[in-house]
Amino acid sequence: MIERRPFNSLGHADHGWLNARHHFSFAGYHDPKRMGWGALRVWNDDTIAPQTGFPPHSHADMEIITYVRQGAITHRDNLGNEGRTEAGDVQVMSAGNGITHSEYNRESGTTQIFQIWILPDTHDQPPSWGARPFPAGERSGRFVTLASGFREDSDALPLRAKARVLGATVGAGMTVEYTLAQGRHAYLVAAKGTVELNGVRLEARDGAAIRHESVLRLTALEDAELVLVDSAA
């Protein structure tokens, strides 16, 4: 089963400094049919104006992954962590039993991010934050695990959930495959490019909610950048 969610059907909020699309119910956007997908709770497609951003605010009991599509995002939190994450790179904040942070676009141009929230398997843990680069060349023609709650994914940023966030860059005409274990849920977005997923055409920034598909076969109809979340039901 693959449910295509066209970009124009997503929830929308334009705050001037922030232009956001919501794949799932979030803030002022509520759709009872889009409350999450497995352990995936939030997927926001955010465009942030230069020299603006999210002022300090708090979270708890959530794994928050930021995938930077364009520009860069600067993170600061009450643990003393501070870092700048550039396009193509990833940061993970495990909110644990509580963390206060800010996220700003300190760049001269627009920043675009995917912000992905996954429900943790454990609670009342100390919060943490980390980031690392994932060069596009290293995920050319294949999925690379960016963040994971599985011990064997030692090169990925850690998650406190049995989930994976994966990325791939695929040249026009190329095909990549991903095996989805029985009972798992997957959600796919092409950050750029048009792709065909098991016969379903997806335009850039469309969402695809997937289950009961043992193999995901993706063919790029043009150069594409893919982000995939594989989570428990």
Q: What is the mean pLDDT of residues 38-52?
A: 98
CA distances from 34 to 23, 25, 27, 69, 100 (A): 7, 6, 13, 24, 27
pTM of the model: 0.97
In the CATH scheme, what architecture does the domain 2-231 have? Sandwich (2.60)
Share of the chain above pLDDT 90, in %: 97
The predicted pLDDT at position 117 comes to 98
- Confidence at residue 94, expressed as pLDDT on a 0 to 100 scale: 98
What are the tens digits of pLDDT across the range 215-229? 999 999 999 999 999
Domain ranges of the chain: 2-231
| Average pLDDT of span 17-24 | 98
Dihedral of CA 26/61/151/67: which sign? positive
Beta bridge partners of 146: none
pLDDT of residue 136: 80
Report whether pLDDT(138) > 90: no
pLDDT recorded at residue 178: 98
3-state percent breakdown (helix, strand, coil) of the chain, nearest 5: 5, 55, 40
pLDDT at 135: 86
Cβ–Cβ < 8 Å for 171, 221:
no
